[in-house]
A and B are shown apart, each in its own frame.
Chain A
């Protein structure tokens, strides 16, 4: 018996120890991470970020070295704070704040204390650094902009925050990441891959050699250079034209879908968002809630397209066989329908057919074409849905799928929308309730880039490539697949010719005769979109937006352009002039129509934009109308 007890004690011990080993080694995995952090040191080498070129190989964005002062809080030994503050040119409070923030994030991992110091600051500091244990200097590269435009599509780089680190473990505190524009879209290409060296430390935190003989180490992979589809000359010119105006210009090469220019106005110098001043400058730009320079109007602004939409109304009517080329529509200042209802139009020759209808932009004609298109079906619901499907095939009413990370879908209404808003079936609705759609008003809205895209589809006679800004990745021959695939519209190619004829006649005898450019056959369409804002909670009409779409040359088009100028009054006034000179600039390389160019350069709309903020009644549409009378009453009320 006694022998058995001893055997039992020995065996029990063995089992107990094995259980404890199982707990420590297999069950509880916290030791693994702990050991990594106390025995293995990761040292990163951050590769040069890829450069950005334009379509002609002109360098737009390169890099400049920058230096971060990093600290590993656990390894910081007490030091002369004042001396370091003096070197860094920061206050003691800031230094202590940064250090405690770093400690809070991780006592073992390096955190930035002062980021993005310049070469000079670094040179000053470098000599002294070894006095401060636990601190070291991490070299990074910052953007060096060769141009002072294009901030809206280039984007910028910024330090990662905790949210990003949690989502993507690749990034560590103090790393830089692309935000907005191509910097964000092609972040992974541009940034390359960080190099990592793993080092074995001993218990005194000294490096005693490579970890696993460097088997896990990774060489840094340089960021790839990318070429944009942007023509920097055209872009620069576009931004000059847009000074003092709000809105945007989109230019696309229709045969490829390449974005030639993407002007958002007002814009800002991309160099503002580099280095230590980035955050301050960004806040300033962001807080400008009046001009909204950070609001990219060409990608985010959803506006009623106005008359350029008539080209689509025509195409759908032709495809649906709802109107023929020879059908005439009489316009006597508009289209009368129902009892005492009139769909107004401006003064022009009457009657009109399709081609002349486009050239004169006759509202009555397109209202008729639209009505016939919808009424071809038994119910307006079916008609609207069919119409909606045609428009969707032009990339409208949905995100366009271009390679810039922001965008809006715009809106193309369908039967569900009208059923809901008219409370169908309790109340019925008819085609004429939606007739504003025919001329690009009503419920239809789209972004300027969507306008450029549908124009490209017309220029191509029925298909388009998704617009994109990436032309070429260094060392790669192919683009992302979605940009190399043709998207066909639901309209048969033969219907495009008469519409294009009409768009061309806009310049020949229509609404844009004064915008002709010698030797270039331009097709285009003016647009004037009513718009409203709210002042003190009341709906107030503002001066109309000026919209314009155009492509040239008529045969084998090389450029499609969509211009949108907020409160520019009528289509050909700002939009048309800008479109003409941009087209000439791109196709000829120079501008001969100096009178158009000078007019645009010499006119600003700042006065117009200041009106709604004046607090007084103001005139819109060149004094044709005075709005905001209620402001006067309010003033009296307050003075009484």
Chain B
């Protein structure tokens, strides 16, 4: 059976219910975070909760549209969608509208549209298409580079907008790449690089080099019966030490002070609650204020006083923390984890490579947004401005994630019919 004649019952209701739950809870918190007792008309486009409500309703229209399309449409037109998406990003440099320093929006009059929110889905489709091609072998360097290009292109366009946060999201495609057989050494490499990076910032390059040297020596002697190659050990150690010093150099000389501050605050090297660390400090206070059960809807003092900047967008989780407490926050975290796990689980069931790879991309994108955003609000990751999916205020973000998710729901719904 093809096309839109299939029954709606075959879509995954778990994902749909989780989506509805997240959207609803998200909206309630946006209502609270942007609550202004002086607002008279709820149904006004000046009223953020009402606007978000409109975006949600329009989101349902988009969902209906996606579910109505032929499931092969996405696979067939993935390249076109990808190229249109890249163009939309490029044209920002000409027609873009600047909001808080970043030229990331098109002004449509009644709303501003942020193409980078849609580029994620487009990139996921393109990557899925490429990797699912029978001729592609991710274990070869050539194909690795091509796959990397597909991922990196939109990211490279987004970085100079400047919107490094949105670009960071493209690291999410590590999920499908790894699942499809990217060598584990990349993982080890990445993890080592991050470890070296953090430790260099914490204790300085000299000590890190010393530790690297010691570890190398110890490993070498433990393995000496297997007659290891001295050259490899020396090579690895030298690279690691060079990396350490370059990290230090880049951090001190290439990074701007605000970037340095953000890292230093998370690493606990700097405590400055008034200026730089203000966001983090306030969001920790707000969350801490929630206690076990929270202050209750519209009762959060920090939320009401709007102490946490951007509390209806990037810092929306602070409102969840304050008004719904440990229990409410844990439920929200649980819902996200369930959604991501459900997507991974369904992806594994796909008989079609394209659907599986796309599914893993969706899981990866949702996961990295979730980790970076909540990690920032909880004060365990540096301040990076990316939204919390389905929660943060904003039409583009909401629609971007809705499209991303429901293409997968559509692809998955079709699995039953494909033999």
Chain A contact residues, CB within 8 Å of chain B: 2-3, 5-7, 9-11, 13-14, 16-18, 20-22, 24-26, 28-32, 34-36, 38-40, 200-203, 208-209, 211-212
| A interface secondary structure, majority | helix
> Of A10, A24, A39, A211, which is within 8 A of B288 by CB?
A24
Contact present for A13 and B371 (CB under 8 Å): yes
Q: Which residues of A contact B178 (CB under 8 A)?
A: 2, 5-6
Docked CA distance A6–B340 (Å): 10
For the complex of A and B, the 9 pairs showing the least CB-CB separation, nearest first, are: A31-B288, A39-B301, A14-B337, A35-B289, A25-B326, A202-B305, A39-B305, A203-B307, A24-B288
Contact present for A26 and B326 (CB under 8 Å): yes
Beyond A36-B301, A38-B307, list 15 extra A-B contacts (CB 8 Å).
A6-B178, A9-B367, A10-B337, A17-B375, A22-B326, A24-B284, A24-B379, A25-B325, A32-B288, A32-B289, A35-B301, A38-B302, A39-B302, A203-B307, A209-B37
Residue pairs across A and B with Cβ atoms less than 8 A apart, 5 shown, are A13-B337, A21-B378, A203-B306, A208-B304, A211-B301
B334's nearest neighbour on chain A, judged by CB, is A14
Q: B251 to chain A: closest CB distance in Å?
A: 25
B375's nearest neighbour on chain A, judged by CB, is A17
Contact present for B307 and A21 (CB under 8 Å): no
Contact present for A39 and B291 (CB under 8 Å): no
B338's nearest neighbour on chain A, judged by CB, is A14
Q: Which residues of A contact B321 (CB under 8 A)?
A: 21, 24-25
Check if B18 is an interface residue, CB within 8 A of chain A. no
Docked CA distance A26–B294 (Å): 11
Contact present for A3 and B302 (CB under 8 Å): no
| B interface secondary structure, majority | helix
If A3-B344, A20-B378, A35-B302 touch, does A14 touch B333 (CB 8 Å cutoff)?
yes
Contact present for A7 and B37 (CB under 8 Å): no
Q: Which residues of B contact A40 (CB under 8 A)?
A: 301
Contact present for A26 and B375 (CB under 8 Å): no
Docked CA distance A22–B179 (Å): 33
Interface centre among A30, A35, A38 (most CB of B within 10 A): A35
Docked CA distance A201–B307 (Å): 9
Q: Which residues of A contact B181 (CB under 8 A)?
A: 2
Q: A301 to chain B: closest CB distance in Å?
A: 56
Q: Which residues of A contact B374 (CB under 8 A)?
A: 17
Q: A5 to chain B: closest CB distance in Å?
A: 8
Q: A12 to chain B: closest CB distance in Å?
A: 10
If A6-B178, A35-B301 touch, does A28 touch B288 (CB 8 Å cutoff)?
yes
Docked CA distance A16–B374 (Å): 11
If A18-B330, A34-B285 touch, does A7 touch B301 (CB 8 Å cutoff)?
no
Check if B341 is an interface residue, CB within 8 A of chain A. yes
Q: Which residues of A contact B284 (CB under 8 A)?
A: 24, 31
Check if B252 is an interface residue, CB within 8 A of chain A. no
Count of A-B contacts with CB under 8 A? 117
Contact present for B287 and A25 (CB under 8 Å): yes
When each residue 286-324 of chain B gets 1 if its CB lies under 8 Å from chain A and 0 otherwise, what string results? Answer: 111111100000010110111100000000000001000
Q: Which residues of B contact A18 (CB under 8 A)?
A: 330, 333
> Of B292, B299, B333, B363, which is within 8 A of A25 by CB?
B292
Docked CA distance A2–B183 (Å): 10
Q: B305 to chain A: closest CB distance in Å?
A: 4
Contact present for B287 and A201 (CB under 8 Å): no
Q: How large is the interface on B (under 10, 10 to 19, 20 to 34, 35 or more residues)?
A: 35 or more
When each residue 265-290 of chain B gets 1 if its CB lies under 8 Å from chain A and 0 otherwise, what string results? Answer: 00000000000000000101111111
Q: Which residues of B contact A26 (CB under 8 A)?
A: 291-292, 326
If A14-B337, A31-B284, A200-B301 touch, does A6 touch B307 (CB 8 Å cutoff)?
no
Q: B34 to chain A: closest CB distance in Å?
A: 13
Contact present for A21 and B329 (CB under 8 Å): yes
Contact present for A201 and B305 (CB under 8 Å): yes
Contact present for B307 and A39 (CB under 8 Å): yes
Check if B211 is an interface residue, CB within 8 A of chain A. no
A13's nearest neighbour on chain B, judged by CB, is B371
Contact present for A31 and B285 (CB under 8 Å): yes
Q: A199 to chain B: closest CB distance in Å?
A: 10
Contact present for B307 and A31 (CB under 8 Å): no
> Of A10, A31, A34, A202, which is within 8 A of B344 by CB?
A10
Q: Which residues of A contact B363 (CB under 8 A)?
A: 6, 10
A18's nearest neighbour on chain B, judged by CB, is B330
Check if B380 is an interface residue, CB within 8 A of chain A. yes
Interface centre among A10, A18, A200, A203 (most CB of B within 10 A): A10
Check if B130 is an interface residue, CB within 8 A of chain A. no
Q: A3 to chain B: closest CB distance in Å?
A: 6
Docked CA distance A3–B340 (Å): 13
Contact present for A7 and B287 (CB under 8 Å): no
Contact present for A31 and B287 (CB under 8 Å): yes
Q: Which residues of A contact B406 (CB under 8 A)?
A: none
Q: Which residues of B contact A209 (CB under 8 A)?
A: 37
> Of A9, A13, A25, A211, which is within 8 A of B329 by CB?
A25
Q: Which residues of B contact A36 (CB under 8 A)?
A: 301
B347's nearest neighbour on chain A, judged by CB, is A3
If A32-B288, A203-B305 touch, does A2 touch B333 (CB 8 Å cutoff)?
no
Docked CA distance A11–B37 (Å): 40
Q: Which residues of B contact A10 (CB under 8 A)?
A: 337, 340-341, 344, 363, 367
Interface positions, chain B 166-200, Cβ under 8 Å from A, are 175, 178-179, 181
Q: Which residues of B contact A21 (CB under 8 A)?
A: 287, 321, 326, 329-330, 333, 378
Q: Which residues of B contact A201 (CB under 8 A)?
A: 305
When each residue 371-413 of chain B gets 1 if its CB lies under 8 Å from chain A and 0 otherwise, what string results? Answer: 1001100111000000000000000000000000000000000
Check if B348 is an interface residue, CB within 8 A of chain A. yes
Docked CA distance A2–B360 (Å): 12
Docked CA distance A6–B287 (Å): 28
Q: Which residues of B contact A22 (CB under 8 A)?
A: 326
Docked CA distance A10–B178 (Å): 14
Docked CA distance A209–B375 (Å): 32
Q: B338 to chain A: closest CB distance in Å?
A: 9
Docked CA distance A303–B20 (Å): 87
Docked CA distance A19–B307 (Å): 24
Contact present for B306 and A202 (CB under 8 Å): yes
Q: Which residues of B contact A6 (CB under 8 A)?
A: 175, 178-179, 344, 360, 363
Docked CA distance A3–B175 (Å): 10
Docked CA distance A6–B187 (Å): 12
Docked CA distance A453–B313 (Å): 77
If A28-B288, A35-B286, A212-B299 touch, does A20 touch B380 (CB 8 Å cutoff)?
yes
Q: Which residues of B contact A13 (CB under 8 A)?
A: 337, 367, 370-371
Q: A537 to chain B: closest CB distance in Å?
A: 62
Q: A474 to chain B: closest CB distance in Å?
A: 39
Q: Which residues of B contact A31 (CB under 8 A)?
A: 284-289
B307's nearest neighbour on chain A, judged by CB, is A203
Q: A198 to chain B: closest CB distance in Å?
A: 9
Q: Which residues of B contact A38 (CB under 8 A)?
A: 285, 302, 305, 307
Docked CA distance A18–B37 (Å): 33
Docked CA distance A40–B295 (Å): 14
Contact present for B175 and A32 (CB under 8 Å): no
Q: Which residues of B contact A2 (CB under 8 A)?
A: 178-179, 181
Q: B97 to chain A: closest CB distance in Å?
A: 27
Docked CA distance A3–B286 (Å): 37
Contact present for B288 and A30 (CB under 8 Å): yes
Q: Which residues of B contact A202 (CB under 8 A)?
A: 304-307
Docked CA distance A60–B244 (Å): 82
Docked CA distance A9–B326 (Å): 22
Docked CA distance A15–B294 (Å): 20
Q: Which residues of A contact B336 (CB under 8 A)?
A: 14
Contact present for B378 and A24 (CB under 8 Å): yes
Docked CA distance A30–B284 (Å): 10
Q: Which residues of B contact A35 (CB under 8 A)?
A: 285-286, 288-289, 301-302
A209's nearest neighbour on chain B, judged by CB, is B37
Q: A210 to chain B: closest CB distance in Å?
A: 10
Q: A570 to chain B: closest CB distance in Å?
A: 74
Contact present for A200 and B305 (CB under 8 Å): yes
Docked CA distance A20–B371 (Å): 13
